[in-house]
Amino acid sequence: MFYLNLSMLEILYFSAPWCGPCKALKPIIDKIEFELDSNKVLIKRIDVDVEAKLSIEYEISSVPTFVFIKDKEVVDRFTGVKSMKEIQSLISKWS
């Protein structure tokens, strides 16, 4: 499992360089990440081709997939493209 800080919301963002929707999400994720309080929320970008074991561990079957972890527990996840507002709403909900 991948845990950095128990009090922090960790978002594992599984993607791949060949994934069209992942490429479309990149500027959104970049902006969200820039605006986040890095003491409260961390987005960890994971390339499924490089981190195959981690992808299997989190049962990633398609990309992009986001896994939200709080206090060592997976509290939420989604696959596919969401708007910046929808992603920010989930971050607010869990952070």
pLDDT tens-digit map of 10-19? 999 999 999 9
β pairing state of 41-47 and 9-15 = parallel
Number of domains observed in the structure of the chain: 1
**Residue 17: domain span:** 9-94
Task: Decide if 51 is inside a domain.
Answer: yes
Whether the CB-CB separation of 64 and 25 falls below 8 Å is answered with yes
**Among 85, 83, 73, CA closest to 12:** 73
Task: Decide if 41 is inside a domain.
Answer: yes
Q: Distance between CA atoms of 43 and 66, rounded to whole angstroms? A: 9
The model's pTM: 0.90
Active site residue 22: yes
Task: Decide if 3 is inside a domain.
Answer: no
Region of 34 please: left (phi>0), alpha (psi -120 to 50) or beta: alpha
Task: Decide if 84 is inside a domain.
Answer: yes
Per-residue pLDDT tens digits for 41-94:
999 999 999 999 999 999 999 999 999 999 889 999 999 999 999 999 999 999
Q: Which one from 8, 9, 16, 22 is the annotated catalytic residue?
A: 22
Active site residue 19: yes
Task: Decide if 2 is inside a domain.
Answer: no
Q: What is the CATH number of the domain that holds 14?
A: 3.40.30.10
Task: Decide if 69 is inside a domain.
Answer: yes
